[in-house]
A and B are shown apart, each in its own frame.
Chain A
Amino acid sequence: EAQVTQNPRYLITVTGKKLTVTCSQNMNHEYMSWYRQDPGLGLRQIYYSMNVEVTDKGDVPEGYKVSRKEKRNFPLILESPSPNQTSLYFCASSLGDRSYEQYFGPGTRLTVT
């Protein structure tokens, strides 16, 4: 089954404790992206990757890091989480090269206390 998977689905952590949210897709997509969803703000792009070893900032990159060492994986790293990063996070992938249709993962609910 073609899908985007994310882990963990739910995470509660404390300020400053490094964490990683994993994302994996099995569709051989070139383009992958991370979004955060907050009430009244919709989906805002954090980082994206056009292909292996090619990443760039989205609209709200502060406090986040990403890496793309393999085509299928695109982890989101929070080196020192803060309460304002409490949010619902989605990973998405698309074929690439102006194929805009994006496939979303099930989401990760992160709470930082």
Chain B
Amino acid sequence: GENVEQHPSTLSVQEGDSAVIKCTYSDSASNYFPWYKQELGKGPQLIIDIRSNVGEKKDQRIAVTLNKTAKHFSLHITETQPEDSAVYFCAASGSGGATNKLIFGTGTLLAVQP
């Protein structure tokens, strides 16, 4: 089955700097790769996603890149702000019978220092 690895587990940056979180996946059949942001005391919330027919997607200060050959995808946050501090999860769509299954990475705690 699909396995998703996420690095780093913690990341501390200065306000205004960029942050990059990387994930690798194992199943070449996966075709959907979302990123979720989890603020303290809340459930994960989708912030950006990418499908396998696209190499890059941007939404204001956040972007996701996908390299299908290498089976890795990354989240890029530019001009970080204190409100970006949260846990970020990557995920990949699972294969097999569960057509809506997502396999999640282990999360990255991002701390933006003012």
Contacts and interface: CB of A to CB of B under 8 A. Distances in A.
A105 interface: yes
Interface centre among B9, B45, B100, B106 (most CB of A within 10 A): B100
Interface in A90-109: 90, 92, 94, 96-107
Given A42-B106, A45-B101, A100 B44 contact: no
Contacts of B100: 31, 33, 48, 50, 94, 96-100, 102
Contact of B106 (A31, A41, A94): A41
B106 A90 contact: no
Contacts, number: 63
Interface residues of B, number: 24
Interface centre among A31, A42, A94, A100 (most CB of B within 10 A): A100
Interface of A: 4, 31, 33, 35, 40-45, 48, 50, 56, 58, 90, 92, 94, 96-107
Interface of B: 6, 9, 32, 34, 36, 41-46, 49, 89, 93, 97-102, 104-107
